[in-house]
A and B are shown apart, each in its own frame.
Chain A
Amino acid sequence: MSESALATRGLNKSFGSLVVASNIELNLPHGVRYALIGPNGAGKTTLINLITGALRPDSGHIILGGGDVTTLPPEQRVRLGLVRTYQINSLFPHLTALESVTLAVCERLRVAQTWWRQLPAYQHEIDEAYDILSRLTLAPVCHRVTRELAYGQQRLLEIALALAVKPKVLLLDEPAAGVPREESRELFAAIAGLSSEITVLFIEHDMDLVFRFASRVIVMVGGRVLLEGTPHEIATDPRVRAVYLGKTRLEAAS
């Protein structure tokens, strides 16, 4: 168990002359809550796309639980426990919340290929999906179609879909994007309540939330990792102050 849950080795990616990832070395131990911060265009979402396989790196390696997954297609990485959510809701608009999560459970258990047994026969899968929705306070609306859900509920459904796949490493791309402040606290409380076996890396701009919910922080600037440390170390580092954090917000947070 000494090895990392997720690691990257010398990850590089550029689009033409624009370098979006430059020699990125990450080492995320099991069960740690990481925040990934940095100014717009720092390459945070690109890094998630590289890790999950939506983008191919120009060079470097991605190591998941000790195994090299650099060449695996996205869905196989998901099966190994590397799961993400999206910054902009990417859901199934005409499926109900329960149907969506049941689908994810069925895919995980590899029963989504069966076409001769009807869905109600899968009591175990349906109950598990309902249980996940309950934990995220979505049980009362589980029979609503996704596009009729409130925006904050859709953000929660994003996380529910990810949990249904039983992640070992969960990458959350601005989970609270567009959610009112009060609700975003609830949403992060749900994330904080996740099993301590799950390693979480979340992108977030609200420093209050970062300092409250992350145990480690990674700062990216211009496609590079500038610094990694505890929230306190990050908050007091003059380089971070210079390139990224507004002085006033930092002082308010520390």
Chain B
Amino acid sequence: MTSAGLTASLSPVQYLQAQVRWRWSEIVFWLATLLPFVLTPSYLVLASQIAITALFALSLDLILGYSGIVSLGHAAYFGVGAYTAGLLSQAGWGEPLTGLAVAAVAAGLFGYVTSFVVARFRHLALIMITLGIGLVMQEAANSANWITGGSDGLQGIRTWPLFGRIKFDLYGYTAYGYALAGLFLIFLVARRLIHSPFGLALRGIRENSARMPAIGAPIHAHIRTVYTIAAIIAGIAGALLAQTTETVSLESLGFQRSADVLVMLIVGGTGRLYGGLVGAAVYMVARDQLSGLNPQYWYFWIGLLLIAVVMLLPNGLLGGLSTLARRLRASS
């Protein structure tokens, strides 16, 4: 919060304008995402997977962090996007941008249909329902192996060059650029969304869903909208993974992925837009390093990290950082 003196001199609209303005820390953050190109070019494949996972975590943040909808099956939408893009390519159409669009539509449709169930429940019942959606999709993909390839995964995906020109190279330059651009553009949309009247309504649902009908808010309609948007974004993330890795496996819509993204978001900090991005980066770099050290037991350390963050930093890493920044500012 800004100091009272500054607040008093601004009109209400000016105050809200100041809230949505881009901060220096945000600009620095996005510039820093370009560093892997120069500093760690041998890790660009990992960097592209981080960007894709960050996008997936961002989509979860819209429903979990901003609307209070806890999901343990969010990978279902990621998987629908991944398989759609993969199948399209397998069928002979490997153009990446149209592939993304088709995957977004498929995941969005699936999200819209399921949102009618999701909107009616909260808390534990909702966790079970989303878990159920995830498990159903995983087993459906497993048993439909004439389409999905079952546990072998989807074979024969070829992603055509970007814009018909830029080939996807072995080192991941194109993959990271492509994934990062996708992440950034969708981040811009998400940022707009959370600063809109609709974003305010979502925070209202998170803060007190029982009060919302008393101000005339159609909360089911709001939840259906945000859930569909989140499904679209998750589907795009899935499609990006399918296109950049040229494989799709059952793992893309499995429970593990749903649980992992939840952990990333909680470690990074929910309801702050950048939480999922930071969480994804920390988690995936940690996994990369730890699995190098100890390929079998690295989830031990992830578990420890999760417990430590939730105990010591209940608002995640970013929540801890912003508290620290506030203390420093107050003491200076």
Query: Whole-angstrom distance between the alpha carbons of A144 and B201 in the complex?
Result: 18
Is B7 on the interface with A (CB-CB < 8 A)? yes
A10 interface residue (CB < 8 Å to B): no
A217 at interface, CB cutoff 8 A: no
Contacts of B201 in A (CB 8 A): 103, 106-107, 112-113
* B287 proximal to A (CB < 8 A): no
Contacts of B12 in A (CB 8 A): 98, 126-127, 129-130, 142
Residues of B within 8 A of A75 (CB): 212-214, 216-219
Kindly state the separation between the CA atoms of A121 and B55 in the bound complex, as whole angstroms: 27
Please give, as numbers and ranges, the residues of chain B lying within 8 Å of A52 by CB-CB distance.
214
B196 at the interface (CB under 8 A from A): yes
How near does chain B come to A4, taking the closest CB pair, in angstroms?
22
Partner among B196, B207, B217 whose Cβ is within 8 Å of the Cβ of A94: B207
Interface centre among A107, A117, A123 (most CB of B within 10 A): A107
CA distance A57 to B192 in the complex (A): 43
In the complex where A102-B200, A103-B204, A113-B221 touch, is A119 in contact with B16 (Cβ < 8 A)? yes
Residues of A within 8 A of B7 (CB): 143
In the assembled complex, how far is the CB of residue A175 from the closest CB belonging to chain B, in whole angstroms? 14
Contact indicator B216/A115 (Cβ below 8 Å): no
| Chain B residues touching A, majority SS | helix
**Which residue of the partner chain, among B197, B214, B215, B222, contacts A119 with CB atoms under 8 Å?**
B197
Q: Within the assembled complex, what's the spacing in Å between the Cα atoms of A83 and B215?
A: 7
Interchain nearest-CB distance for A134 vs B (Å): 10
**8 smallest A-B Cβ distances: which pairs?**
A115-B198, A78-B216, A92-B207, A75-B213, A104-B215, A106-B197, A112-B201, A120-B17
- List, sorted by A's number, 27 A–B pairs whose CB atoms are closer than 8 Å: A75-B213, A75-B217, A78-B216, A79-B216, A86-B211, A90-B211, A94-B203, A98-B12, A99-B200, A102-B200, A104-B215, A108-B215, A114-B196, A115-B193, A115-B225, A115-B229, A116-B196, A117-B196, A118-B20, A119-B196, A119-B199, A119-B200, A120-B13, A126-B12, A126-B13, A143-B1, A144-B1
Which A residues are within 8 Å of any B CB, using their own CB?
52, 73-75, 78-79, 83-84, 86, 90-95, 98-100, 102-104, 106-108, 111-120, 122-123, 125-127, 129-130, 140, 142-145, 161, 164-165
Beyond contacts A83-B214, A113-B198: 12 other A-B pairs, Cβ-Cβ < 8 A, are: A78-B213, A92-B203, A99-B200, A106-B197, A106-B200, A106-B201, A111-B197, A112-B197, A117-B196, A126-B16, A143-B15, A144-B1
The chain B residues found within 8 Å of chain A, CB to CB, are 1, 7-8, 12-13, 15-17, 20, 192-193, 195-201, 203-204, 207-208, 210-219, 221-222, 225, 229
